[in-house]
Amino acid sequence: MSSKTFNLQVRDDQVGVITMDIAGESMNVLKAAFADEIAALLAEINANTALKGLVFISGKPDSFIAGADISMLDGCKTADEAAAIGRMGQQMFDRLEQLAIPLVAAIHGPCLGGGLELAMACHARVASSDNKTVLGLPEVQLGLLPGSGGTQRLPRLVGLQKALDMILTGKQLRAAQAKKAGLVDEVVPQSILLEAAVKRALKGKPQREAAKLNMVGKVLERTGFGRNVLFSQARKQTLKKTQGNYPAPLKILDVIKAGVDNGIRAGLEAEAKAFGELCMTKESAALRSLFFATTQMKKETGAGDTKPNKVRKAAVLGGGLMGGGIANVTATKAGIPVRIKDINAQGISNALKYSYSLLEKKFKRRFISKADMQKQLLLITGTTDYSGFHDADIVVEAVFEDLALKQQMVADIEQHCNENTVFASNTSSLPIGQIAAKAARPQNVIGLHYFSPVDKMPLVEVIAHETTSAQTIATTVAFARKQGKTPIVVKDGAGFYVNRILALYMNEAANILLEGEPVEKIDKALVKFGFPVGPVTLLDEVGIDVGAKISPILANELGERFVAPAAFDKLLADGRKGKKTEKGFYRYGKNVKKGQKVVDDSVYAVLGVTPAPRLNRDEISSRCMVQMLNEAARCLEEGIIASARDGDIGAIFGIGFPPFLGGPFRYIDQLGAAELVAQLRNLQSRFGERFEPAALLVSMAEQQQKFYP
């Protein structure tokens, strides 16, 4: 086995095959350290005058190049140092593009970031039709932009509109979509990928064609006036989406415009400079920390060295919205056969219909084939009794929030399943220890708290009670990960972690509303702060009745500060449950245009308040936020979460805490514990004990400590 990462082998037909394979790694990533090796490789290529063409391929079975090694950037102390990394990549790919003989990229598996930048520097691209093959420039998700020519090459290949859409969102294309866009030249089965690429290389160097555009595209992209309209609209939409909280998308627009207006050289110089500047922003540092944290978590079992048991078959109790969603991700993401039990056939029918409609959307958008769709649907079956449950390795319970009912479910599963079957409860508020209180095998009982909608929300909380075994924890964490989720292990207790920090944030929004601040003003303040939706909208979405049910449980277990304002009772007495009954804080139904948000003004009379704006936007967001931050610190203090890292991941993936702030704990570090304690004490003097600072924050303020030293 060669210790080199890039190996050149010349075939009998005089086509050189360059294979990239980083020893000891599951994925290929580009590193600055490869510069010398690539320079030597290019010298070898230029010295061989018999070569007719080249093919660049990965030696990894399931990936091309997953991007650049992000950890390189952490060593950079200045923007100039980071810009130099970008320039090095640009020069390397320029040399590939300037080769006299054709160079073809043979792409199978993820081709992302620097991997796609390399592929675009090749003279042609052939991709495998495999579902694993995706192409994209996801740098914006790290608060960066493509720094090795990607902002300049992509618009020339696919046109300006498509390139802006891809680079501003980090969107990834499947092979067929990439071909349609003009990003790849040919899509073939993986079995003939290399031969198809060789054949293309032997055809000679293709002429670089301009991106194929329709009439509207030509007007927008090939006239100065059209381009100005395009960039101005893109800027407007970007600011609306990001609320100005993310610097990268605006820099991306500037850099692409520089290349379009002043040529590729000016564009590349602007790209390297902007790349360096973005590397130094606190937003990129926060987003990169998130990337490292999730990567690190993928290697953990949640239970030390304990290895998980393999889950070959799963079952779900309850065919409601949650049960249907859990069954869906088990079959479609994990590929595990799943059996749904409901008390009647209608429940099972609803759950099956839920998966069918999600898969049909994917099929219509050409993400999956008809055969794939049918194969995944066949993994989901239903029953009104416990037939077929005997060999289930894990049973996820998604029934009503009723303790006696959940205890009955545990007893039923112990009777109908084997002695190692894991019983996972998708409760959002009941302590797992209470659910396991009457169990014959409490070591098999665990919490597995999903967020709605299950197919979209990335987080699950894995909740271990006092006697949950390490084996059960490891098996449940591995199962959740196979479903495409990011699991965090939390200690048992009312509300666990995510709902606990969310409850105080929502309560404070309700208090502000009862003081007379208008509904839309509260929502706008928190959206501007960086949340995907405001707290009042969220309450309408989740259900006012759900909030009302959880509050007493939390107040009973955790004390006075969780007592909800009187708003809930008044709203429910008026029949307002939110969006699901088309009656809440906002108006719903036929008279409201799609995408429009109109406050139902009659809600103020129900609450007994007259809207009178007094607070500014920052005062509203600050009051809600400090409650969440304070409670997050309490959860860490009590060992509900194991680390600040887990708390940050939980808040971002579970409730949409602004990712550019890095999570509650990174944000506290940014504010300073002393500043947060001062804000809490000020509010405590005005509004009472619900703002009392957590003991952990007080001691950290005194000792000037940080969660991430």
Q: What are phi and psi of 444, to 5 degrees?
A: -90, -5
Angstrom distance (rounded) from CA 407 to CA 390: 19
Report angle CA 225, 231, 236 to the nearest 5 degrees: 125
CB 604 within 8 Å of CB 536: no
Cα–Cα distance between 169 and 147 in angstroms, integer? 16
> What are 9's strand-pairing partners?
17
Omega within 30 of 0 (cis) for the link into 458: no
Contact (Cβ atoms closer than 8 angstroms) between residue 288 and residue 74: yes
Which helix (DSSP H) or strand (DSSP E) does residue 702 occupy? Answer: helix 695-703
392-410 burial: b if 16+ Cβ within 10 Å, else e? bbbbbbbbeeeeeebbebb
Give the type of residue at 650. G
The 3-state DSSP class for residue 304 equals coil
In angstroms, the CA 142 to CA 501 distance is: 26
* SS3 label, residue 159: coil
Q: CA 349 to CA 354: how far, in whole Å?
A: 9
Q: What is the spatial distance between Cα 563 and Cα 552, in angstroms, rounded to a whole number?
A: 7
Instruction: Return all residues near 2 (Cβ < 8 A) that are at least 6 apart.
Output: none
CB of 133 closer than 8 Å to CB of 109: yes
Which residues participate in catalysis according to the annotation? 461
Taking the chain, what is the end-to-end CA distance rounded to the nearest angstrom? 41
CA distance 218 to 583: 47
Do 57 and 194 touch, CB atoms closer than 8 A?
yes
